[in-house]
Amino acid sequence: MIANFFKKTKPIQTIFISLLFLLFYLLSIFFVEKSEFSLSVIAEKVGTLLLFFTFFIIIRFIKRKNQFSGQDSYLLLFMVLLFAIFPGTMVINKVLLSHFILLVAFRRIYSMRSFENIDQKIFDSGFWIGVASLFYMWSAIFVILVLIAIMVYSSDKIRGMFVLLIAYSTPLFLSFTYYFWNDNTEVFYNKLIFEYSFSNGVFDIPKLMIPLVFVIICSLGALAILKFKINNLSNNIKPSLPLLLGHYLIGLYMVYIIPNETGTTFVFVFIPVVVFIANALQVITNKIIREVFVYSFLLMAFAIYFI
């Protein structure tokens, strides 16, 4: 059974997941982007693919360091399946680039659960959120996640907020200085614009609305399972739950408020969703339910091309 296959973390599972992502990445190129091929396009796609594999390496590192799941491959599997369900998230653009940068910030934010070097981690996370904001201004909303971490883990909350302010402002100040020196501040000010819409089109597009509702229902179901069976986990996810819940709500808010016709912004909610599902599968004792979870995501990943 496929769910049992991914209950282990061995090279064979890693190879399978890598090949699965490669398959979905090629499907995205041929059926979503429909790119005209040339040497420059092929080089771009190969570069993007390497960027994604770097993304998965960082995700695996964050998982291991913060005990986001047990000794299984569910987290990486469902991360791949989410990219497949929302193929627009595999197209390189400013949103995706900003999220790659945010991964560095997330790594430092979630590591605050150790209560070690809190001020340094606050500065690092704030700084990288500031850098990500220069690519995509909505990344700034993840300052809220750092504030949650300060409230939960920092012993000196006022000091933590001051460090965060300095850290976030640093890349913006340096960027402004550069554009001011080159007499081109208009470019900098354009980077600070928040585009928003209370009718962003997501719920008018079945190819986006159906998988989004599916993922939200599955993630909430997984969260409900964790609430009652969290003590049965082999890993200790409790210290990270406030941040994961904050991350989840921030991501859903971004999906709702940001104009979006391709589903690219859905990537901001991927991390908490896969953590919830991976841990829920770990405590579900009924094999049939585990299989249904995995097969339903696989089915949706392929069905999206026919909606």
pTM of the predicted structure, to 2 decimals = 0.92
N-terminal to C-terminal alpha carbon distance within the chain? 28
Interior/surface letters 213-249, b for 16+ CB within 10 angstroms, e for the rest: ebbeebbeebbebbeeeeeebebebebbbbbbebbbe
Per-residue pLDDT of the chain (307 residues; tens, 9 = 90+): 787 788 777 888 889 999 999 999 998 888 877 767 778 888 888 888 999 999 999 998 888 888 888 778 889 999 999 999 999 899 888 999 999 999 999 999 999 988 889 999 999 999 999 999 999 999 999 999 999 999 999 889 999 999 999 999 999 999 999 999 998 889 888 888 887 766 666 677 788 889 999 999 999 999 998 888 877 776 778 888 899 999 999 999 998 888 777 788 899 999 999 999 998 988 888 888 889 889 999 999 999 887 7
Q: Domain limits of the chain?
A: 2-306
How far, in Å, CA of 34 to CA of 48, rounded? 16
